[in-house]
C-alpha cells in the first residue's frame, strides 16, 4: 500500500479496535468483505459475527457459495452466519416503489440486530464507503435510522481505495465486480415476484457461463437491456456472440436485445 492508503488502513484498524464485539453485514462483495477482514484483524475472529442475508433476492450460486467465499478472505475460523430473511413479507417492497431499497434494507438490518441482540452484541457495521454517499441510495436512510455504523466512511475509504487495499492484502474479493440484489433489475413500480427474479437469475447465469461476469440483465416488456463490464463489450460485438445471445433471449420471449455501450465499472 502507498503511504496514504496505509494511513487510512491504520486509522480503520484503530477505530475498530475501540469496540469489543461486533456484527458485520456482509453481502460477499469487496466492500463488506474487506471490512469484515479488517474487523477480524483488529478484534480477532471470535469477537466478530459476519452476517449474510440469505434471501430469494440473491442468486442461488451466491447463496450456496457465500460461506466458502468468505472463508477464503476471512479464514476458516471466521464466524459467518446466514440469516434467513424474507423481504416479500413487506408489501411496500413487493410494490417496488422508489423506497424499495429503504424498506428492504431496514427489514434485513432489523433482523440482523435482533440476532445480534440475542448474543448481547449491540453494534452492527456495514460496508458503506465515501462514494456511496454521493449516490442516490434510499438504503442509507435505513442505516441512519437503525444506528448502523459505517467504519469505512469514518476512515475515508473510497471504492478504489478498498479495491487497492484488498489487493495489497491478497484478498480474493479485490477484483469482484460490484453487484446488487436481483430486484434492482426490475423497473420501478413493477411488482416483484419470485418468478420474475428467477427468470433474471437464469438469464444472467447464461451470460456468466459465456464469461460475462459482472453482467446485469434488465427486462422491459418485450425488450431486454444487457449491461456488461466495459472490457467485455468488444467480445460481445462479434457476430457469433451476438447471434447466440440474441437467439437465447428471443427464445425467452424478448424480441429486442439491447446493450449498454458505456459498459459497467467494476
* pLDDT reported for residue 2: 85
pLDDT digits (tens, 9 = 90+) for 94-127: 999 999 999 999 999 999 999 999 999 999 999 9
> In this structure, what DSSP letter does residue 17 have?
T
Q: What is the biggest distance separating any 2 CA atoms in the chain, rounded to whole angstroms?
A: 59
CA-based R_g, the chain, Å = 19
Angle at 22 between CA 127 and CA 58, to 5 degrees: 45
Cα–Cα distance for residue pair 194/56, rounded to 1 Å: 7
Provide the mean pLDDT of the chain: 95
Indicate the pLDDT class of residue 178, thresholds 50, 70 and 90.
Answer: confident
Contact 13, 115 (CB under 8 A): no
Q: Is the pLDDT confidence value at 134 over 90?
A: no
pLDDT digits (tens, 9 = 90+) for 199-234: 999 999 999 999 999 999 999 999 999 999 999 999
The pLDDT assigned to 234 comes to: 93
- Measure the CA dihedral 180/186/189/193, to 10°: -100
How high is the pLDDT of residue 74? 97
Q: Which residue has the higher pLDDT, 95 or 2?
A: 95
Task: Please enumerate in sequence order all residues whose Cβ is within 8 A of that of 34, keeping only pairs 6 or more positions apart, or say none.
Answer: 127, 152, 162, 165, 166, 169, 171, 173
Q: Which of 74, 67, 42 is nearest to 52 (CA)?
A: 67
Amino acid at each position: 500500500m502507498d503511504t496514504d492508503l496505509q494511513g487510512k488502513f491504520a486509522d480503520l484498524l484503530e477505530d475498530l479496535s475501540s469496540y469489543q464485539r461486533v456484527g458485520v453485514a456482509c453481502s460477499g462483495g469487496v466492500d463488506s468483505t474487506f471490512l469484515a477482514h479488517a474487523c477480524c484483524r483488529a478484534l480477532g475472529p471470535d469477537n466478530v459475527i459476519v452476517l449474510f442475508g440469505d434471501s430469494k433476492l440473491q442468486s442461488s450460486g451466491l447463496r450456496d457459495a457465500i460461506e466458502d467465499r468468505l472463508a477464503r478472505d476471512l479464514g476458516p475460523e471466521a464466524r459467518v452466519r446466514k440469516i434467513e430473511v424474507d423481504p416479500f413479507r413487506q408489501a411496500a417492497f413487493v410494490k417496488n416503489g422508489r423506497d424499495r431499497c429503504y424498506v428492504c434494507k431496514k427489514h434485513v438490518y432489523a433482523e440482523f440486530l435482533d440476532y445480534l441482540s440475542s448474543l448481547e452484541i449491540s453494534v452492527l457495521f456495514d460496508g458503506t464507503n465515501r462514494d456511496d454517499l454521493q449516490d442516490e441510495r434510499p438504503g442509507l436512510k435505513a442505516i441512519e435510522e437503525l444506528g448502523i455504523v459505517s467504519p469505512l466512511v469514518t476512515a475515508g475509504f473510497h471504492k478504489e481505495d478498498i479495491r487497492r487495499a484488498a489487493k495489497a492484502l491478497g484478498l480474493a474479493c479485490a477484483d469482484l465486480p460490484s453487484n446488487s440484489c436481483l430486484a434492482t433489475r426490475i423497473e420501478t413500480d413493477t411488482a416483484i415476484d419470485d418468478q420474475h427474479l428467477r427468470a433474471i437469475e437464469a438469464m444472467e447465469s447464461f451470460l456468466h457461463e459465456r464469461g460475462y461476469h459482472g453482467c446485469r440483465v434488465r427486462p422491459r416488456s418485450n425488450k431486454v437491456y444487457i449491461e456488461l463490464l466495459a472490457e467485455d463489450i468488444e467480445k460481445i460485438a462479434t457476430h457469433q456472440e451476438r447471434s447466440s445471445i440474441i437467439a437465447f433471449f428471443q427464445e425467452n420471449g424478448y424480441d429486442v436485445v439491447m446493450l449498454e455501450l458505456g459498459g459497467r465499472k467494476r
